């Protein structure tokens, strides 16, 4: 889980202000805290997760927490960014190479299968945080909005590739289709989570895919 080798994507040693002190093993502690919070806030919800939960799950102490974060809000934002990075990384794996309708179906199947593992519980890692934080933390909301936009951008780029290769009609609007797919996905997650049944998620995604299909060139 914790890669010692590749840490700190943010170097910038000088440029004080937000400058983090140097960090040998301390970075690993921070990573453990974020990892624990990532999991806990996903299954319990952000507000229902206490710092003590995080401390216990990460095997750290209070002082370590406050060495790396100014307060709980700071942690939440780090978790949001970590979740966004994780989801987008996963999605890039599917969507960067997307260039056919079959690829879209594979994408759908992977999401459904992943969600089926937990019977729909907890919903989408990004969506559940968005619902809880959008009207509570403006910074988090903004990060989440950008992440959704990037996710939709990956979809739109794939659809555009299908358009350029002649699979998708020229009058299709990749951006709007991507937004529609994302809404179907998120709505599907929510209904599946509520019903404890992934069927509505499948139906929602299939309907969206059917709509995309109607734009395929015969």
d(C-alpha 61, C-alpha 59), whole Å: 7
Instruction: From 20-28, 103-111, 145-153, 172-180, give the range in contact with DNA by CB under 7 A.
Output: 20-28
- Minimum separation from the CB atom of position 137 to a copy of itself (A): 11
Buried b (16+ CB within 10 A) or exposed e, 64-99: bbebbbeebeebbbbbbebbbeebbeebeebbeebb
Q: How many residues in the shown chain lie near a copy of itself by CB under 8 A?
A: 47
**Cα angle for residues 181, 204, 141 (degrees, 5° grid):** 50
Q: Is 47 a binder of a copy of itself (CB under 8 A)?
A: yes
Q: Which does 163 bind (CB under 5 to 8 A by kind): DNA, a copy of itself, none?
A: none
- Minimum separation from the CB atom of position 185 to a copy of itself (A): 7
Do 157 and 99 contact (CB within 8 A), yes or no?
Answer: no
- Minimum separation from the CB atom of position 46 to a copy of itself (A): 9
d(C-alpha 212, C-alpha 169), whole Å: 10
Q: Is 111 a binder of a copy of itself (CB under 8 A)?
A: no
d(C-alpha 42, C-alpha 30), whole Å: 18
d(C-alpha 126, C-alpha 186), whole Å: 9
Strand partners, 216: 168
Q: Is 50 a binder of DNA (CB under 7 A)?
A: yes
Binding residues for DNA restricted to 58-77, rule: CB under 7 A: 60-64, 66-67, 71-73
Q: Site residues (CB under 8 A) for a copy of itself?
A: 43-45, 47-48, 121-123, 127-128, 130-132, 134-136, 141, 144-145, 148-149, 176-177, 179-180, 182-188, 190-191, 193-196, 200-201, 203-204, 207-208, 210-211, 214
């Amino acid at each position: 889980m914790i890669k010692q080798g590749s840490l700190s994507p943010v170097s910038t040693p000088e440029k004080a202000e937000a400058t983090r002190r140097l960090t040998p093993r301390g970075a690993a502690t921070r990573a453990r805290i974020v990892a624990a919070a990532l999991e806990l806030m996903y299954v319990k919800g952000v507000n229902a997760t206490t710092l003590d939960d995080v401390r216990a799950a990460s095997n750290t102490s209070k002082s370590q927490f406050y060495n790396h974060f100014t307060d709980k809000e700071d942690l939440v934002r780090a978790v949001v960014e970590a979740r966004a990075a994780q989801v987008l990384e996963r999605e890039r794996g599917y969507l960067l190479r997307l260039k056919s309708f079959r690829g879209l179906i594979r994408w759908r199947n992977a999401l459904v299968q992943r969600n089926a593992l937990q019977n729909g519980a907890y919903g989408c890692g990004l969506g559940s945080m968005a619902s809880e934080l959008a009207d509570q933390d403006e910074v988090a909301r903004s990060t989440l909005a950008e992440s959704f936009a990037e996710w939709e951008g990956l979809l739109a780029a794939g659809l555009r590739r299908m358009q350029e290769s002649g699979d998708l009609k020229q009058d299709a609007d990749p951006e709007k289709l991507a937004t529609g797919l994302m809404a179907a996905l998120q709505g599907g997650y929510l209904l599946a989570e509520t019903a404890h049944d992934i069927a509505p998620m499948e139906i929602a995604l299939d309907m969206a895919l059917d709509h995309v299909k109607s734009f395929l060139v015969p």
